[in-house]
A and B are shown apart, each in its own frame.
Chain A
């Protein structure tokens, strides 16, 4: 039973660059939610994707965008990276928008 898979595990980018993070949901799950966890903080909701559409968005700028594919996998894109975007990015999958979460191990993004 494959859990949630995120890639890459670590990433270093330069300010102003763009980055794409990937998430494969748990088998049987159809919904993907993305969270940003800054150092020493709890996760903050970025957005949720269901049926290939963004269902809800948190308080993040338009530099953060996403996509969900027909196989339910998802990408998180961040443009014009800032130092403050350095964080652990967590993906959580669920069955339906209100289903219980299964989290991945995250992607650690460092912006220099």
Chain B
């Protein structure tokens, strides 16, 4: 069965610094999607970045980028120039490309940004 593991329950970063959140997953599929979602106190899950497994190039979205290591089944999120508004829970998620519609989420990492 597919699983997603986030081994860092909590991380802290100084404002303007860089932080990396870790995520590993287990799957026997060769094609799938990976996501990072942000959940602020408002509770709404907001898509940060998405990676398609067949693409070797790492996805980037402004200050957010991923390090996708398919063979190692690792999908880390790097946040550059951290801002106070980045403070939130971050969830890594996996989704099949077909056959089943559910997302599988990790347990989350709470990111604190220190002024």
Contacts and interface: CB of A to CB of B under 8 A. Distances in A.
Interface of A: 33, 35, 40-45, 48, 55-56, 58, 88, 90, 92, 97-98, 100-101, 103-106, 108
B102 A33 contact: yes
Contacts, number: 53
Interface of B: 4, 37, 42-47, 50, 91, 93, 97-98, 100-108
- Interface SS of B by simple majority: loop
B102 A56 contact: yes
B102 A45 contact: yes
A42 B102 contact: no
B105 A42 contact: yes
A40 B102 CA distance: 20
Nearest to A41: B107
Contacts of B4: 42
